[in-house]
């Protein structure tokens, strides 16, 4: 399928102990032999060979270890060579340049994994999991990635894809060969329970996947409220550091302040905002607008109130901004005499000066987002944004199929929507993906992977 041999630096390009230049393709061993002082043309697979990289005048360039992996038992199912050299950026680049001069082409981002996909060693969800593993920022993200690399997404979806194809096949037989006596006639009412069952299982997967995505990428937690209610104090208390400036002067925070904290296996991406209020101060106005923009990317909003004063008109105006978003009402300053009376019934009372209050709030965030129900030991959920979109599209297509049945249309029309659902699910694991989609996906990978 691929006629050329590719090469790239597979380790981080910075000074270190070791760097690896990887080659893949039919001529990987032959090209390496041109710049290596030992004979490796007949070397066995999965062996390591000591020697020197040499230039055209046979002068030694670097002392290296050469790893040989022969097809098909390799990452790409092609011959692979890995040159383990000293980790200086100069020498690493020099050896890569020599490899390219000897006949290899510079690999595009993700091209090694792309070849593994095209040669059938991994499906598309596994390929994306490879990049997820590289980008993992916490234990949960890494656990999801390793499950994905092991093929958990395909195992999760393949039975439903097969069930869907069985229904489509039965419909096709009825449409194409209605005159045959041995063909059992299939009606809408007979396939409806199966369609509903597939849709229900996909909806459960989607629900878990949305939570899994939060666990993987971190929870965008936006702290809002009017000035001087303790938003910055809350940020500092959760982080256990003085990240934001705290004073008793309203409007101290003029810009959004961002930071992250790890809670067990969950990352909170905390965003402290400027106090939302009407103001004549031009700089503060900009801060207020940024606060409102931050709400658009919030997974959860912490609406902070000052419990030591009465409920204000500004509080009500802010609540109207966030009431339709996932939110927690946080009544702060519980260590002071409480004067606030809330129109809302659900809220949590804290003091940023008390460690137990902060722990209670952190637990409330996880409970609100229903993240406590996800097991970190056996994560088989979809957490990739592209895959979640395709999953949602498949559910919508099945809903359309159910609606067509309820409206009494012929089974031919049902088949159209079932095929759409089947195509969307196939795109998740790469069975029905277009070349342009695949090129776009793999272009986001790092070089050398």
Nearest to 103 by CA among 177, 4, 183, 17: 4
pLDDT at 182: 47
The tally of CA atoms less than 13 A away on the side-chain side of residue 117 is 24
pLDDT at 259: 82
pLDDT at 242: 62
pLDDT at 249: 45
- Which segments of 71-185 are extended strands (E)? 80-86, 105-106
Exposed/middle/buried for residue 415 (C-beta within 10 Å: 0-12, 13-18, 19+): buried
Tokens read off for 247: 């004073």
3 state DSSP class of 112: helix
56-71 pLDDT, tens digit per residue, is 999 999 999 999 999 9
pLDDT at 384: 78
pLDDT at 252: 45
- pTM score, whole prediction: 0.66
Angle, alpha carbons 40-45-48 (nearest 5°): 60
Report the distance separating Cα 269 and Cα 275, nearest Å. Answer: 19
Q: Which residues of the chain have pLDDT under 70?
A: 174-188, 241-256, 264-265, 274-288, 371-381, 383, 433-438, 440-441, 444-445, 447-449
| H/E stretch holding 423 | helix 411-429
Question: Per residue in 310-333, is it b (16+ CB within 10 Å) or e — as a string?
Answer: ebeebbeebbebbeeeebbbbbbb
3 state DSSP class of 175: helix
Question: Per residue in 126-146, is it b (16+ CB within 10 Å) or e — as a string?
Answer: bbbbbbbbeebebebbbbbbe
- The answer, yes or no, to whether the previous bond of 364 is cis (omega within 30 of 0) is no
Q: Cβ distance 308 to 350 under 8 Å? A: no
């Amino acid at each position: 399928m691929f006629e050329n041999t590719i090469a790239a630096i597979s380790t981080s390009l910075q000074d270190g102990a070791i760097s690896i230049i990887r080659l893949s393709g039919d001529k990987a061993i032959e090209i390496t032999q041109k710049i290596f002082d030992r004979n490796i043309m007949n070397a066995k697979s999965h062996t390591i060979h000591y020697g020197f990289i040499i230039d055209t005048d046979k002068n030694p360039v670097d002392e290296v270890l050469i790893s040989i992996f022969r097809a098909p038992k390799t990452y790409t199912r092609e011959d692979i060579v890995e040159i383990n050299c000293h980790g200086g950026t100069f020498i690493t680049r020099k050896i890569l340049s020599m490899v390219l001069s000897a006949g290899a082409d510079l690999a595009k981002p993700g091209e090694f994994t792309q070849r593994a996909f095209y040669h059938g060693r991994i499906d598309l969800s596994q390929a994306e999991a490879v990049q997820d593993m590289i980008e993992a920022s916490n234990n949960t993200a890494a656990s999801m990635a390793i499950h994905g690399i092991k093929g958990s997404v395909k195992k999760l979806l393949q039975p439903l894809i097969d069930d869907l194809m069985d229904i489509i096949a039965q419909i096709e037989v009825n449409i194409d060969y209605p005159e045959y006596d041995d063909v059992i006639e299939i009606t809408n009412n007979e396939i409806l329970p199966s369609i509903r069952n597939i849709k229900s299982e996909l909806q459960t997967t989607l629900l878990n996947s949305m939570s899994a995505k939060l666990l993987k990428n971190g929870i965008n937690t936006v702290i809002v409220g009017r000035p001087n209610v303790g938003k910055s104090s809350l940020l500092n208390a959760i982080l256990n550091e003085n990240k934001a400036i705290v004073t008793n002067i309203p409007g101290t925070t003029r810009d959004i302040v961002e930071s992250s904290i790890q809670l067990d296996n969950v990352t909170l991406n905390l965003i402290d905002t400027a106090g939302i209020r009407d103001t004549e101060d031009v700089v503060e106005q900009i801060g207020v607008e940024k606060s409102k923009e931050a709400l658009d990317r919030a997974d959860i909003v912490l609406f902070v109130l000052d419990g030591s004063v009465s409920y204000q008109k500004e509080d009500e105006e802010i609540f109207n901004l966030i009431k339709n978003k996932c939110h927690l009402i946080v009544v702060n300053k519980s260590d002071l005499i409480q004067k606030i009376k809330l129109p809302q019934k659900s809220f949590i009372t804290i003091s940023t000066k008390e460690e137990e209050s902060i722990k209670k709030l952190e637990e409330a965030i996880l409970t609100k987002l229903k993240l406590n129900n996800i097991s970190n030991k056996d994560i088989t959920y979809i957490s990739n944004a592209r895959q979640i979109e395709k999953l949602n599209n498949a559910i919508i297509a099945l809903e359309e199929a159910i609606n067509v049945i309820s409206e009494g249309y012929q089974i031919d029309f049902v088949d159209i929507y079932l095929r759409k659902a089947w195509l969307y699910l196939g795109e998740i694991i790469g069975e029905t993906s277009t070349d342009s989609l695949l090129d776009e996906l793999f272009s986001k990978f790092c070089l050398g992977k």
